[in-house]
Amino acid sequence: MENRVAIVGAGVSGLTCGVLFAERGYQTAIFAKETGQQTTSGAAAALCFPYDAGPADAVIAWALATYKTLIGLSSDARTGVSMIDLRQFSRACEIRIPAWAIPLGAHRVSASAVVNAVCAVPKRPHADSYGFKSGFALKVPLMDTTIYLDYLASRFRTAGGSTTANVRFEKPEDVGDAFDLVINCAGMGARELAHDIDLEPHRGQVAIVPKIDNLQCAIVCDDAPLMYAIPRKNDCVFGGTNDVSDNLNPDPVTTKAIVAECSRVLEIEKPRVVRERVGLRPFRKSGVRLEKEKLSDGRSVIHNYGHGGSGFTLSWGCAENVFEIVG
């Protein structure tokens, strides 16, 4: 019976698994090198919308399960989860609404709605000046990571879970033998921990700017240059980038370009930058790894990493899947 569980990693994947196992009566402990805002999860915006992760079928199933749980959490403001109108645009072509999003209410937005996308932000020019050709809108959960990660950590503690920070394991077997089962939620760290050369760091840089009055929807354009403006409770996240790189240092030239493009689309004066953040999306070329493996000491590890740009979007669906594997 594997009921003493050690989780490696305190990002959104580790915390969500932690909550799920601790609340279901398992003796659960999290061990992590970094916690809270130091993790990649702390750099995300984070919308519940699949991006830069595979395989498509599994991702959609995990995302829909997560979407459902997050809708429940959005009724309590203390969780940091809220529902937001996401407006996704294309500069290049007629945008395709993903089939899974249609039953959730996704609908095409016309050129005039492109103008309205910038909600009540003053000075609305002609749609053309945004450079967007087409778009769609969908209500999605938004996790304000400055609140949501603390909420998960506190819910984990309340359920009896313990967290040990500043611990770096070389291999899963390094987890003490007080535990029967290891869950590997190490994100990019799994490249070393599980010797997985399939993991590729998809570097993302964002600029945190002060709250923008009247901006009530999230605006995203995936065509180059990647652009998004995501309003949160106390600030706004301007993005972004997606390059294969391990470099965790913010690049000031990139920050300038991000702020310039977002300000152009929103038709506002360039705001001051409160903070720059860089995170490495743990993209795995062969797709999210969610499977059980035997360790050399006879115990088992369940891998749950490689979520790319969708760690939040897949978090509850994947945690349930990990739980099913244990069961």
Ligand X SMILES: Cc1cc2nc3c(=O)[nH]c(=O)nc-3n(C[C@H](O)[C@H](O)[C@H](O)COP(=O)(O)OP(=O)(O)OC[C@H]3O[C@@H](n4cnc5c(N)ncnc54)[C@H](O)[C@@H]3O)c2cc1C
| C-beta of 117 vs 220, nearer to ligand X | 220
Going by C-alpha positions, the residue among 19, 5, 40 that lies closest to residue 308 is: 40
Q: Which of 169, 179, 238, 316 binds ligand X (CB under 6 A)?
A: 169
CB of 117 to ligand X, least distance (A): 18
Stretch that binds ligand X, among 19-27, 96-104, 164-172, 255-263 (CB under 6 A): 164-172
Identified binder of ligand X from the candidate list 10, 84, 175, 322, rule CB under 6 A:
10
- In the numeric block, which tokens belong to residue 14? 């580790």
Q: Is 85 left (phi over 0), alpha (psi -120 to 50) or beta?
A: beta
CB 161 within 8 A of CB 143: no
Q: How far is it, in rounded angstroms, from Cα 120 to Cα 221? A: 19
Q: Which is nearer to ligand X, 134 or 313 (CB)?
A: 313
5, 6, 7, 8: which one binds ligand X (CB under 6 A): 8
C-alpha radius of gyration, the chain, whole number: 20
Kindly determine how many residues on this chain lie close enough to bind ligand X according to the rule CB under 6 A: 44
- Cβ 227 to ligand X, closest distance in Å? 13
**Contact string 262-291 vs ligand X (x = CB under 6 A):** -----------------x-xx---------
Q: Does residue 163 bind ligand X (CB under 6 A)?
A: no
Handedness of CA 105, 110, 113, 118 (dihedral sign): positive
Q: State the DSSP code for 115.
A: H
The Cα 248–Cα 226 span in angstroms is 19
Q: Which is nearer to ligand X, 8 or 268 (CB)?
A: 8
The amino acid that residue 268 corresponds to is I
Copy the structure tokens of residue 36.
């809270």
Cα 45 versus chain centre, distance? 7
> Could you say whether residue 317 binds ligand X (CB under 6 A)?
no
The verdict on 240 binding ligand X (CB under 6 A) reads yes
Q: Which is nearer to ligand X, 115 or 200 (CB)?
A: 200
Exposed, middle or buried by CB within 10 Å (0-12, 13-18, 19+), for 49? buried
How far apart are CB 169 and ligand X at their closest, in Å? 4
Q: Is the peptide bond before 55 cis (omega within 30 degrees of 0)?
A: yes
The nearer residue to ligand X, 206 or 302, going by C-beta atoms, is 206
Given the rule CB under 6 A, which of 3-11, 120-128, 208-216, 256-264 is the region that contacts ligand X?
Answer: 3-11
- Cβ neighbours of 164 (radius 10 Å): 12
Task: Give the residue with the Cβ less far from ligand X, 36 or 271.
Answer: 36
Pick out residues in 179-238 that bind ligand X (CB under 6 A): 185-189, 193, 204, 206
Residues 18-77 within binding reach of ligand X (CB under 6 A): 31-35, 39-41, 43-47
Nearer to ligand X, 33 or 124 (CB): 33
Which is closer to ligand X, CB of 115 or CB of 152?
152
- Whole-number minimum distance, CB 44 to ligand X, in Å? 3
Q: What does the DSSP assignment read for 11-79?
A: SHHHHHHHHHHHHTT-EEEEEEEEEGGGSGGGG---BSS--S---HHHHHHHHHHHHHHHHHHTTSGGG
Alpha-helical regions (H) of 176-230: 190-193
Residues that bind ligand X (CB under 6 A): 8-14, 31-35, 39-41, 43-47, 167-169, 185-189, 193, 204, 206, 239-240, 279, 281-282, 305, 307-313
